Amino acid sequence: MKKFTLRLSLFALPFVLALYPMDYFISNTLRKSNSFANWEYPVWNDIFNGNIKSEIIINGSSRAWKGVDAVMLGDAFNKKAYNIGLDGHDFYLENLRYNLLLEHNQKPELIIMILDNHTLAEATRIYTPEQLLPYMLWNSTMREPITKLKAYNYYDGIIPMIRYYGKRSSLKEFARLQIRKHPKNDINKIRGYHGFEMDWDPTEFQNLKNDLKKKHKKTFDTKLYKPTVQLFDKFLSESKSNNIEVVLVYAPEFIEGQKVMGNRKEIIDVYANFGRKYNFPFYDYSRDSISYDQSNFYNVLHLNKNGAEIFTKDLIKRLKHEKNLQSNFMYSK
């Protein structure tokens, strides 16, 4: 038994010794990628490195990061703005990103919370879980929300390297970065925002309609998820008590697409009620003229670059006329 244990320990020793250095090396290399994991690494890097340094934070899903130009918005108020919109997620993970921002950066003065039909739905998965890989190890803030969504287990956040098990695409990206081969789909997010110069593509909407037909349904209904609603309430309440202004903004959605979203009114009412409860402004852009013009969108839910500029400009105009903000935010230095 002794001999067996000794030989086994000897065999395992190189692994044990190499685990942490390998993890450190792979994670640090992977962080440099600005094309992998839906271009999320640059934003995560800025959050973890304390580089956000902004008074205005734009939070939300892809409706946020593809729709609100942070530089334009910040310049309009002579302040710094950063867009931390997280692709493919609802408030559960958006809130995690915001909490991590608070942990590593200065507290913002204003949060523009971009909302959509799914913001308060149940989180069932992590979209592109690879985006979290380089930051997860020994990070207690991330551990619970991530393990709850079952993309990773408890030990993934505790033991070096094991979360890379079977993550072939991440390891491939690591290898690519090592040989410095340039990716094909590099985009340059500026302060978390990137506008997409794309024209309207009808195929996605058609697929959506076909999907409904297949399911013999007329609309897609989104179910509000109580724990996420409570989390959102907590976020608003804490922002209020920390003197952080929040502006709730229901993002523009192409009018034709709104017809297949069943319970939009019920959901928008929930947001409006939250605005009233905490005396935060609520803007509904789903009935704004932006939402009626197809040329502003590249699909039903996403603005193109031109649409994003129009939307950001209009948002700035509205914010400048917002009474609540004038005293607390606009004239602060």
Among 78, 168, 215, 279, binds another protein (CB under 8 A): 168
- Residue 18 interacts with another protein (CB under 8 A)? no
Other C-beta atoms lying within 10 Å of the C-beta of residue 146: 23
Give the closest residue to 227 by CA, choosing from 219, 239, 235, 215. 235
| Binding status of residue 214 toward another protein by CB under 8 A | no
Interacting stretch for another protein, rule CB under 8 A, among 11-19, 194-202, 246-254, 256-264?
11-19
Amino acid symbol at 216: H
- For residue 331, which amino acid is it? Y
Stretch that binds another protein, among 83-91, 166-174, 264-272, 320-328 (CB under 8 A): 166-174
Complex with another protein: residue 12 or 158, whichever CB lies closer? 12
From 131, 137, 130, select the one nearest 22 (Cα to Cα). 137
Q: Measured between alpha carbons, how far is 328 from 319 in angstroms, rounded to an integer?
A: 12
Contact, 107 vs 242, CB < 8 A? yes
Binding residue (CB under 8 A) for another protein from 78, 140, 166, 214 = 166
Side-chain-side CA neighbours of 184 within 13 Å: the count stands at 0
Q: How far is the CB of 148 from another protein (least distance, A)?
A: 19
Under rule CB under 8 A, residue 13 binds another protein: no
For 93, the token pair is 């993970």
Quick one: 115 or 133, whose CB is closer to another protein?
Answer: 133
Restricting to residues 35-54, which ones interact with another protein according to CB under 8 A? none
Q: Which of 71, 102, 149, 171 touches another protein (CB under 8 A)?
A: 171
**Cα-based distances in Å from 328 to 3, 55, 106:** 72, 12, 17
Is there binding between residue 179 and another protein (CB under 8 A)? no
By CB under 8 A, is residue 185 in contact with another protein? no
Contacts with another protein by CB under 8 A lie at 1, 3-4, 7-8, 11, 14-15, 164-166, 168, 171
